[in-house]
Amino acid sequence: MAFLTGRHIPRRTFLRGTGASIALPFLDAMVPAGRLWAPVDPIRLVAIEQVHGAAGSSQWGATHHMWSPATVGRGFDLGPSALDPLEPYRDYLTIISNTDVRMAEAYDPKEIGADHFRSSAVFLTQSHPTQTESSDVFVGISLDQMYAARFGQDTPIPSMQLCIENVDKAGGCAYGYSCVYTDMITWASPTEPLPMIRDPRVAFDMLFGAGGTPAERAARRESQGSILDWITGRIAQLDQQLKPSDRERMEQYLENIREVERRIQSVEARNATGEVRALPEAPAGVPDSFEEHIGLMYDLQALAFEADMTRVFTLKTGRDASSRVYPESGTTTGFHPASHHGDDPQRITEFYLINKHHVNQLPRFLERLKNTMEGDSSLLEKSMIVYGSPMADGNVHNHRRCPLIVLGHAQGRLEGNLHLKALDETPMANAMLGLLHKLGMDDIESFGDSTGELSFSAPIAAPLETL
């Protein structure tokens, strides 16, 4: 067969049909015969924003270690913290505590009180947004887009931006700020925010339904069948060329695509019944359940990484000032009201439960990446997942000592199982600059309001140098 003659399947291979275009995962058949596969893949990057900070950033919450553990270094206990669900993945976990996001603070009196309407734009840019309600927005280039510009241009989709809550407001929001500052976390340039995708169906079609015309794709969806039905002939043809281990890998990959597709179809069917929805304004493909919605978004990211359709994702888990309720968290207090806890320990605990519930959605995603092999290592080994907030204590809209963690080994550049505590007054931008260097962008000398690069090896992290 093909492997014996030195022929191989190109890494960038698609199975195409009417209204469908599915990229293949990495297979042994993609390695030329007689050669060893040396992985040179860029790191997969995910940046996730948690709005409103964390209960552990309040004075009482910090003393009870509701976000950062008490111990710096490696022997930390996650039990009391909202990060406890990540205990099975502590070897992939880097906690960065005690960094500040001063660029989200008010610069002059007219900006006071507007933290909700500028903070999201600061998270990945670490730059202060220009106060405007018009189109002359200006902030900075986000970390993810700096990476995508250099390492994402040889994938079909350089980057994808996902969100969970409604972010389609236009014009001004409040305090003289354009809504794009609170709606978008990804900026291709200081003046170019990139729109977020809320509907899993839209994301699915971008990844797997790009073939054919819009009418053909619509016809495929209306058929209630599977996208895989349109490429069965190509699948059968490919199976004849593959050895058993590759066939098994392909079967699992296609079944994972089908499983996600079934879930999206189920949501669409449920939302088309005419029954009253919890989210009446949401598109038909958006689940009313937060857990179901974010689970789909994480699974889509894992599939996209496996197919190498994109290497860069951002995910906005909520919207500033949202009062959404998360009953599964253990409290029925709305998110925004819970963040304004008035330093009441009982109410801080309610916010802690919501924070922990959000973190608890990550393990499924991590498990998918860990169980997906590419060559001789997993996608989790090859990934960097940045999870944090540009706000600290939501009760007072404080931006000092903000929550920030990183997951994954980033191709061996992050050790994991480490809690780094920055020196007081350290900008989060120092940590972001260090992450840019871990991503292979060593020539970047500064980022946002950075004063140096954060070390990722010392128990107490300090700037390596002053720029």
* Residue of 296, 289, 300 lying closest to 325 (CA atoms): 289
Whether 295 and 240 map to the same domain: the answer is no
* Contact partners, residue 427, CB within 8 Å, separation at least 6: 99, 100, 101, 102, 126, 448, 449, 450, 451
Q: How high is the pLDDT of residue 466? A: 41
Main-chain dihedrals φ then ψ at residue 155, nearest 5 degrees: -105, 155
Taking the alpha carbons of 107, 49, 373, 17 in that order, is the dihedral positive or negative?
Answer: negative
Whether 348 and 385 map to the same domain: the answer is yes
Q: Looking at the domain assignment, is residue 467 inside a domain?
A: no
Taking the alpha carbons of 299, 303, 305, 311 in that order, is the dihedral positive or negative?
Answer: negative
Whether 21 and 65 map to the same domain: the answer is no
Q: Looking at the domain assignment, is residue 257 inside a domain?
A: yes
Whether 249 and 316 map to the same domain: the answer is no
The domain in which residue 213 lies consists of 1-38+204-285
Distance in angstroms (rounded) separating the CA atoms of residues 82 and 213: 46
Of 233, 263, 285, the one marking the end of a domain is 285
Main-chain dihedrals φ then ψ at residue 78, nearest 5 degrees: -85, -10
Residue 367, H or E segment: helix 362-371
Q: Looking at the domain assignment, is residue 20 inside a domain?
A: yes
Distance in angstroms (rounded) separating the CA atoms of residues 380 and 91: 11
Alpha carbon 154 to its chain centroid, in Å, reads 20
Whether 49 and 82 map to the same domain: the answer is yes
Q: How high is the pLDDT of residue 400? A: 96
Hey, how many other C-beta atoms are within 10 angstroms of the C-beta on 134?
Answer: 8
End-to-end, the C-alpha distance of the chain in Å comes to: 58
Whether 344 and 215 map to the same domain: the answer is no
Q: In 299-323, which positions are buried (b, 16+ CB within 10 angstroms) versus exposed (e)?
A: bbbbbbbbbbbbbbbbbbbbbbebe
Q: Looking at the domain assignment, is residue 466 inside a domain?
A: no
Q: Looking at the domain assignment, is residue 413 inside a domain?
A: yes
Q: How high is the pLDDT of residue 385? A: 98
Whether 281 and 292 map to the same domain: the answer is no
Q: Looking at the domain assignment, is residue 69 inside a domain?
A: yes
| Burial (Cβ within 10 Å: 0-12, 13-18, ≥19) of residue 247 | middle
Hey, how many other C-beta atoms are within 10 angstroms of the C-beta on 6?
Answer: 10
Distance in angstroms (rounded) separating the CA atoms of residues 99 and 400: 7
Distance in angstroms (rounded) separating the CA atoms of residues 284 and 229: 23
Q: How high is the pLDDT of residue 2? A: 36
Hey, how many other C-beta atoms are within 10 angstroms of the C-beta on 255?
Answer: 11
Of 262, 285, 308, the one marking the end of a domain is 285
Q: How high is the pLDDT of residue 211? A: 54
Q: How high is the pLDDT of residue 215? A: 66
Q: How high is the pLDDT of residue 128? A: 98
Whether 47 and 33 map to the same domain: the answer is no
Q: Looking at the domain assignment, is residue 129 inside a domain?
A: yes
Q: Looking at the domain assignment, is residue 439 inside a domain?
A: yes
SS3 411: coil
- Please state the domain count of the chain: 2
Whether 176 and 317 map to the same domain: the answer is yes
Distance in angstroms (rounded) separating the CA atoms of residues 379 and 367: 10
* Residue of 436, 454, 456, 448 lying closest to 149 (CA atoms): 436
Whether 267 and 413 map to the same domain: the answer is no
Place of tokens 């998270």: 123
Of 268, 285, 302, the one marking the end of a domain is 285
Go through the chain and tell me how many residues it has.
Answer: 467
Q: How high is the pLDDT of residue 5? A: 39
Whether 299 and 437 map to the same domain: the answer is yes
The CATH number assigned to the domain holding 359 equals 3.40.720.10
Spans in the chain with pLDDT lower than 70: 1-7, 33-40, 168-172, 210-224, 458-467
pLDDT by residue (tens digit) across 7-18? 678 888 899 887
Place of tokens 């986000």: 142
Whether 171 and 278 map to the same domain: the answer is no
